[in-house]
Amino acid sequence: MTTATAPERRGTGSRTLSVVRLQLINTQSFVWVPLLIMTATVVLCLLIFAMIPGDGLKPSGAAQAPLWYFLALGIQAMTLTFPFSQAMSITRREFFVGTVVVGAIGAAMMATIFLGLAGIEMATNGYGMNGRIAYIEWFFEPGWASAWLTYFTVTLLLYVIGFWAATVWKRFGTLAIAAVLTALGLALVIALFVITRTGSWPAVIDWFAQTGPFLLTLGALLLTAVLSLGAYATLRKTTV
């Protein structure tokens, strides 16, 4: 059987890069929407800070909003873009790597924005209102680089969780993923129950404090890597 030479064929590397471009063409979601959510969150927080009387520290957990959006992005990357990627004759590996890379780029973008915001908070003493959105003390303990990594990892982890869950769903079906999530939830509840019953909360909190944000971030990064590989292994035999 002959294999005719095809014209200028690009290597897998550049095709993977094209997957990144693919995700970016199809969904402005990787850039504009997170920015939009970020902006809206900041504006809302500022308004709320202004409304809160007094000069005490005003922390806001609203920073989460854009991060949870990445969970949705991870899910969509699989459910919506994977079938199309098959139509584009993209291999599963190229799709996987490209999709994770895009997630990482998005996470890096978010981390940088948060750091920028934190910088502003420090410089303006919390927007002149002692408000805190991005500057979460605990993250910044080991330094600004560590904080950036923490934001990066949290975002990427959520993205990968979404991607992983969607992959399991696509391959094994709704029942399967529901079972897995239920099992995980159950495990979590049991763990909480045991900790409470054995009065171990102080010990747990202590452990967190001792380990510190940097090491915990590395742990989360490891978890991200493991989930990614799990998703890839599942993806390899997934059909549209």
Partner 1 sequence: MDPVIEVHHLTKRYKDTLALDDVSFQIERNAIYGFLGRNGAGKTTAMSILTAQNFATSGSVRVFGENPYENPRVLSRVCFVRESQKYPDEANAKTAFASARLFFPNWDQDLADELIDAFRLPMKTVTKKLSRGQLSAVGVIIGLASRAEITFFDEPYLGLDAVARQIFYDRLLQDYAEHPRTIILSSHLIDEISNLIERVLVIDEGRIIMDQSVDDARGQATNIVGDAALIDGFIRGREVLHRESLGRVASVTLLGQLSAEERREVAAAGLDLAPVPLQQLIVRLTQRSGDAAGTSTISTEGALR
For residue 70, which of 91, 99, 98, 39 has the smallest C-alpha distance? 99
Q: Which is nearer to partner 1, 30 or 151 (CB)?
A: 30
Q: Residue 144: how many CA atoms within 13 Å on its side-chain side?
A: 9
- Which residues, listed in sequence order, are joined to residue 58 by a DSSP beta bridge? 131
Is 170 an interacting residue with respect to partner 1 (CB under 8 A)? Answer: no
Contacting range for partner 1; rule: CB under 8 A; set: 26-34, 38-46, 106-114, 211-219: 26-34
Q: Which residues, including other chains, have CB under 8 Å from residue 45's CB and lie 6 or more apart? A: 60, 62, 131, 133
Q: Binding residues for partner 1, how many (CB under 8 A)?
A: 37
Instruction: State which of residues 42, 63, 89, 135 lies at the interface with partner 1 (CB under 8 A).
Output: 89
Of 41, 76, 150, 167, the one binding partner 1 by CB under 8 A:
76
CB nearer partner 1, residue 27 or residue 130: 27
Residue 42, Cβ density class (10 Å: 0-12 exposed, 13-18 middle, ≥19 buried): buried
Which of 101, 74, 73 has the alpha carbon at shortest distance from 15? 101
- Binding of partner 1 by 240 (CB under 8 A): yes
Q: How far apart are CA 95 and CA 166, in angstroms?
A: 14
Q: Whole-number minimum distance, CB 222 to partner 1, in Å?
A: 26
Is residue 12 a contact residue for partner 1 (CB under 8 A)? yes
Tell which one of 53, 71, 78, 92 touches partner 1 (CB under 8 A): 92
Angle, helix 32-51 to helix 92-123, in steps of 10 degrees: 30
Residues found near partner 1 in the complex (CB under 8 A): 1-4, 6-10, 12, 15, 18, 21-22, 25-29, 76, 80-81, 83-84, 86-94, 236-237, 239-240
